[in-house]
Amino acid sequence: MTDKETSSLPSRHEERLGLLLWFRLSRFYNQSLRRSNAHLKEWGVTITQFDVLVQIGTHEPLTQNELAEKLFVTKGNMTQVLGRMEELGWVHRDQEWRKKVLTLTGSGWELFNLIVTRQEQFQASQFQGLNKEEQKQLLDLLRKLQQYNEHMEG
């Protein structure tokens, strides 16, 4: 009985497990989302905007499509979120050929430097229920899931 075998054809029990995992995951995620937004409210930023800020700040210059891929969301969603962030003066969109290249503005970088460390600390506190070893385990499991799913999509 290899690992491959146990994971190739899900048993009735594993099916239940899948549903349980989904419920747990979605509850924890929603809770975490709510808390993160409450935490970031002090700086007038949402968790979505924070995620975008980090991605652009870390990888700029990048296009809207690349950003959407990194965040696993649709490009339509990015159009909306970036529209708001441009309005707020954090992000600059520069048309190049048929792409739009994203960079942070001065005030975007200011915000980045102001909140990234704080949000890192906050996010760490959300996972305090696990010790370092368990946190690594969780990251590992999520990585495996991601890899498998990417493989599935082709």
Chain residues binding a second copy by CB under 8 A are 3, 6-7, 10-11, 13-33, 36, 51, 54, 71-73, 117, 119-139, 141-149
What is the per-residue binding string for DNA in 62-101, x denoting contact by CB under 7 A? -xxxx-----xxxxxxxxxxxxx--------x---xxxxx
Phi and psi at 127, nearest 5°, equal: -110, 15
Cβ-based nearer residue to a second copy, 1 or 97: 1
Q: Report the amino acid identity of residue 148.
A: Y
For 114, residues 6+ apart whose C-beta sits below 8 A from its C-beta are 43
- Whether 47 contacts 40, CB under 8 Å: yes
- Whole-angstrom CA distances from 22 to 19, 126, 133 are 5, 19, 23
55 binds DNA (CB under 7 A): no
Least CB distance from residue 61 to DNA, whole Å? 10
- Least Cβ distance, residue 87 to a second copy (angstroms): 24
